[in-house]
Amino acid sequence: MSLPKTPAFDLTGKRALVTGASSGIGLGCAAALAQAGAHVVCAARRADMLEGLTDAMRAEGLSGEALVLDIADLSALQLALQGEDAFDVVLNAAGMARHASAVDTTPEDFDAVMHVNVRAAYFLSAEAAKGMIAAGKPGSIIHISSQMGHVGGIDRSVYCTSKHAVEGMVKAMAVEWGKAGIRINTICPTFVRTALTQSTFDNPERFAWIMNKIKLPRVAEVEDIMGAALFLASDASAMVTGTAMMVDAGWTAD
């Protein structure tokens, strides 16, 4: 008997773009893909943070480069993707949150969140797919969404709106691009401990709410997202498209 072999998680020879790569989940995902052998273009708005990331990658023998980019600037986004060979993997970790109750939400905050979380994500996906289709190559597009794309949350009406939109967008794009071998999925984390979320964890009331909702005995760390990113980027997930990978410690289980 010849046993089946596990599909490779190896990304050697692949080119990946990671947006929002300068910190937090994006930085972790950039590291995960580089550690699996990919050449990673690390994109974000903060040049100094990107330089620190790419220096650290090179120090560990990994392949990466920095790209200063605001993905909400569609002209710059198109130029960045059109000026490169088609990427094999595009992972979007850029995002924005402005939390307030629905009755206190301003049109300016609503537009700012939707501009980054939905509009930019939509056209990043479209530009990435255009390049893959033109090159006649398959690829994987991954968005860091949220458990809040599947449930509601305190003072998160706008954020939930944007992430529910991303989940619908991904399903439609998966249907459209599947025949071209292009897969698109989301990763939906629970609250992950980063510099941006630390204030939430420092709030005793909010921390108690989080620990009451999750089923595992700790909050998530960036490393908890890295394996999911590698799985969806690699051939190990060759039959996975149009779906959400929940990394939510059971938040949405009930």
Annotated catalytic sites, by residue? Answer: 159
Count, residues in the chain: 254
